Amino acid sequence: MIQDLSSFVLTVPEALDEKICDALIEWHRLGGHGGKTVVADRDTRRDIQKWLPEDHRLWGPIQLVKKNLYGQYSKKFPSVYRGAKSIVMPETKIQCTEPFGGGFHNFHAEVSHWENCARALVWVIYLNDTEPGEGETEFLYQNIKSQPQKGKAVIWPAAWMFQHRGNPVHAQNKYIATGWCWYPEEKGYYG
């Protein structure tokens, strides 16, 4: 586990087995049957995003990795959530970023408006390696660049001060699994 306690960005090498990484890439390439697909076609983003359905055989292994990631993170930073219910991690998005134009290269945060304000953390698992200096997850204020390595996971807060972006790839496609850890609804907590 690699950590910089001052940045709140936690990196876990070899978090996901390489065979599962390969299987998720293959699922994406073959059409991602059963999941929702979005082709993001804004000027700055031309990637293909597919949501892994809960009934898929790969759902369980990746959920286990997500729970382990959250467990490691909350052990280091226990104040990330102190509610009575468990953090929820319902979605797993598998994303392919193609060379020369694919990806979301603008700095952004995962909590940017009311609709997503219940996001606590963001997680990314790199499903393949990229060439050095390509496809990194770059954090603006933390001055961190995370180089994609097959199976490596990164988890960080979703808040506005964690502006990040995916840097372009030029030599090959970049595949990631990504999603969020959400605060659960706790009706009556303050009443």
pLDDT tens figures, 53-108: 999 999 999 999 999 999 999 999 999 998 888 999 999 999 999 997 666 788 99
pLDDT tens figures, 113-131: 899 999 999 999 999 999 9
Provide the residue ranges of all domains of the chain, joining segments of one domain with +.
2-182
Domain 2-182: state its class: mainly beta
**13, 12, 3: which is closest to 142 by C-alpha?**
3
CB neighbour list of residue 120: distance below 8 Å, 6 or more residues apart: 80, 81, 87, 157, 158, 180, 181, 182, 183
Cα separation, 27 vs 42, whole angstroms: 24
Residue whose pair of structure tokens reads 């979605």 in the numeric block: 91
**Considering the entire predicted model, what is its pTM?**
0.91
DSSP 162: -
Helix H or strand E segment including 176: strand 174-182
